[in-house]
């Protein structure tokens, strides 16, 4: 009989920490802890959230009757490393160093690898990351921004985008490498990617002022007005960065990062909440249209996923504008936890060698 591997999967997002334990691919338990903008806003830097996020993870493991010593591996969501290919990577000291300094910036996922290694090292088992947010498969033409000093970057929900695109392909009876799919992941951050035959050839950078605005990010902005704001003397660089990421989007307009609260406001007749929420759906739809052009109109399916895909109202607003492009598949939440476990399992079972960063 083949060995059973017990794996802890850790997924820090901008508005949540998701934790799961698997026995091979079988779920033992899963827990999602949501973090309000107020709770997250207390921390100056992402690295300051290390203790808080590690503690909630260890508590969840204990509360669900799993002993850390039983684990065979810990797999974390990969963060803002230097651009790399997709796959499973062993967490190494140089990776930890890049995640700590934020070589490509700050995001909660930077803590995924750091916490995974911290827990795994204590019990002498391996730690991995899978399909980090910096997976880069952009086609050359997509790298050109329009300003030579600035190159467009691939920063997105690679783990869930790839996992859900594979699921859509499987539902159509095909392999991921045989289909063209547009994936819109709608969580604390929003990314919309054009997947051509297994490669994400273009994607709006979910983190740094591209694409649709999101619960906590500004998305793309009119750059002339932004430049004026930057040099107005009213703001520091940190202030502007926070307006783009963390305190942007829905948080800036409505003071919450929780789409469910926005829906409550709308039910109570708040017209501003409705306008802003619909504008976010409008921008997602517009970006899906842009990806359809990238794929030259050859689109096998459009996937709507992430926490906000639970919202019937939001999904309907998007569908109204894009269903002419192709079949829309709605996968609320994410397939990230199982994708993390599977990435670790492939290595533990010797089916794949872990990549070195």
Ligand X SMILES: Nc1ncnc2c1ncn2[C@@H]1O[C@H](COP(=O)(O)OP(=O)(O)O)[C@@H](O)[C@H]1O
Q: Which stretch binds ligand LANB7ZPL (CB under 6 A): 22-30, 152-160, 163-171, 259-267?
A: 152-160
Q: Which does 206 bind (CB under 5 to 8 A by kind): ligand X, ligand LANB7ZPL, none?
A: ligand LANB7ZPL
Q: Tell me how far, at minimum, the Cβ of 109 lies from ligand LANB7ZPL, in Å.
A: 6
- Residue 159's nearest CA partner among 95, 82, 78, 75 is 78
Q: What torsion do the CA atoms of 91, 97, 103, 106 make, to the nearest 10 degrees?
A: 80
The position carrying tokens 């009989």 is: 1
State the nearest-atom distance from the C-beta of 257 to ligand LANB7ZPL, in Å: 10
308 binds ligand LANB7ZPL, rule: CB under 6 A? no
By CB under 6 A, the residues from 195 to 234 that bind ligand X are 215
How many Å apart are CA 149 and CA 171, to the nearest integer? 42
- With H, G, I as helix, E, B as strand and everything else as coil, classify residue 171: helix
Q: Which parts of 10-49 interact with ligand X (CB under 6 A)?
A: 13-16
By CB under 6 A, residue 157 contacts ligand LANB7ZPL: yes
| Candidates 166-174, 181-189, 288-296, 347-355; binding stretch for ligand X (CB under 6 A) | 181-189
Ranges of beta strands (E only) in the chain are 6-12, 16-23, 26-34, 73-77, 88-90, 127-130, 144-147, 150-151, 180-186, 190-196, 199-203, 301-306, 328-332
Instruction: Give the residue with the Cβ less far from ligand LANB7ZPL, 155 or 179.
Output: 155
The window from 29-37, 107-115, 315-323, 343-351 that contacts ligand LANB7ZPL (CB under 6 A) reads 107-115
DSSP string, 263-292: HHHHHTT-HHHHHHHHHHHHHHHHHHHHHH
- The token pair at 252 is 């800036």
What part of residues 295-354 is at the interface with ligand X (CB under 6 A)?
306-308, 310-311, 334
Instruction: Using alpha carbons, select from 131, 157, 29, 195 the residue that is nearest to residue 342.
Output: 131
* Minimal distance, residue 241 CB to ligand LANB7ZPL, in Å: 14
Q: Which residues of 5-21 are buried (b: 16+ CB within 10 A; e: fewer)?
A: bbbbbbbbbbbbbbbbb
Site residues for ligand LANB7ZPL per CB under 6 A: 13-14, 107-109, 133, 155-157, 187-189, 206-207
Site residues for ligand X per CB under 6 A: 13-16, 187-189, 215, 257-260, 306-308, 310-311, 334
């Amino acid at each position: 009989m083949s060995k059973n591997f017990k794996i802890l999967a850790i997924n820090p997002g901008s508005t949540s920490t998701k934790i799961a334990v698997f026995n091979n691919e079988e779920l033992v338990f899963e827990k999602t802890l949501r973090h309000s903008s107020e709770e997250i806003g207390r921390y100056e830097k992402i690295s300051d959230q290390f203790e808080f996020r590690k503690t909630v993870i260890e508590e969840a493991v204990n509360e669900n009757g799993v002993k850390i010593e039983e684990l065979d591996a810990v797999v974390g969501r990969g963060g803002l490393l230097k651009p790399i290919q997709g796959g499973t990577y062993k967490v190494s000291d140089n990776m930890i160093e890049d995640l700590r300094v934020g070589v490509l910036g700050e995001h909660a996922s930077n803590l995924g690898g750091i916490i995974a290694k911290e827990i795994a090292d204590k019990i002498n088992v391996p730690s991995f990351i899978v399909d980090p947010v910096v997976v880069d498969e952009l086609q050359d033409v997509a790298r050109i921004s329009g300003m030579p000093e600035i190159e467009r970057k691939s920063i997105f929900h690679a783990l869930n985008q790839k996992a859900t695109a594979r699921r859509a392909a499987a539902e159509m009876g095909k392999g991921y490498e045989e289909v063209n799919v547009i994936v819109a992941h709608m969580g604390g951050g929003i990314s919309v990617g054009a997947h051509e035959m297994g490669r994400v050839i273009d994607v709006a950078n979910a983190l740094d002022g591209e694409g649709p605005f999101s619960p906590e990010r500004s998305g793309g902005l009119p750059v002339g007005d932004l430049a004026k704001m930057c040099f107005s003397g009213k703001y520091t660089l940190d202030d502007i960065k926070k307006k783009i990421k963390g305190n942007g989007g829905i948080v800036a307009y409505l003071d919450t990062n929780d789409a469910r609260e926005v829906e409550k406001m709308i039910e109570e007749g708040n017209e501003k909440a409705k306008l802003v929420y619909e504008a976010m759906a409008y921008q997602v739809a517009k970006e899906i249209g842009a990806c359809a052009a990238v794929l030259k109109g050859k689109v096998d399916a459009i996937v709507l996923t992430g926490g906000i895909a639970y919202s019937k109202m939001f999904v309907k607003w998007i569908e109204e504008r894009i269903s002419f492009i192709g079949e829309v598949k709605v996968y609320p939440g994410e397939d990230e936890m199982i994708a993390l476990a599977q990435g670790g399992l492939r290595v533990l079972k010797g089916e794949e060698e872990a990549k070195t960063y």
